[in-house]
Amino acid sequence: MAAFVNMLGQSVLIFDYPGYGRSEGKPSEPGCYAAADAAYDWLVQAKRKRPELITLFGESLGGGVATDLAARKPHRALVLTKTFTSVPDMAKKSPLTSASASLVRNQFDNLDKIGRCSGPIFIAHGDRDRLIPLSQGQKIFRAAPQPKQFFLLQGCDHNDPYPADFYTALAKFLK
């Protein structure tokens, strides 16, 4: 995330979801949304940041959280990287294991919510992503309202770092 700040000259608020990182609690879809709401409300109310200056950024699972927030709260732009259409769609892509079956309780239905997002939307996905198929990122992009841009992370797998041209394209988009 430091590269994001340095390349774009943006302030970044990073927070953990319940049950992730150093946060206590049990991971759940409602818990992730509540954490995002708390972070957003803190920025707007306590720090007095204007919503039209807030860029929501979600990578992978974070894309589900950012999309939900963007569908409900005012913001400057939505940036989604390496994210999926929904958890059930992800469960369908691989043999159903006990771990993936338990995740299907969570929906994170980005495909359903993306049409309710206002403001510019920038979506990036790797063409070698072995965890989340490129086709899911492309499907979200097709469903997204204008203005929007799709950026192909050429040669990138799911956990690869962002190439320099990603930051250049994103900075241009945000201007």
Task: Answer yes or no: 100 catalytic.
Answer: no
125 as an active site residue: the answer is no
**pTM: predicted TM-score of the whole model, two decimal places:** 0.89
CATH topology (fold) of 2-12+51-174 = Rossmann fold (3.40.50)
For the chain, the average pLDDT equals 87
The structural domains of the chain, with segments of one domain joined by +, span 2-12+51-174
Quick one: which of 66, 44, 68, 47 has its CA closest to 56?
66
- pLDDT per residue as tens digits for the range 74-115: 999 999 999 999 887 777 766 554 455 445 667 889 999 999
Taking the CA atoms of 34, 35, 41 and 44 in sequence, report the sign of the dihedral they define: negative
Q: Which of 87, 24, 78, 26 is nearest to 52 (CA)?
A: 78
Which position among 28, 100, 112, 158 bears the catalytic label? 158
Q: Is 129 a catalytic residue?
A: yes
pLDDT digits (tens, 9 = 90+) for 125-143: 999 999 999 999 999 999 9
Give tens-digit pLDDT for 41-51: 999 999 999 99
Among 129, 135, 160, 165, the one annotated catalytic: 129
Q: How far apart are CA 50 and CA 45, in angstroms?
A: 9
Active-site pick, 16, 37, 60, 100? 60
Concatenating the DSSP letter of every residue in 4-49 gives HHHHHT------PPTTSTT--S---HHHHHHHHHHHHHIIIIIS--
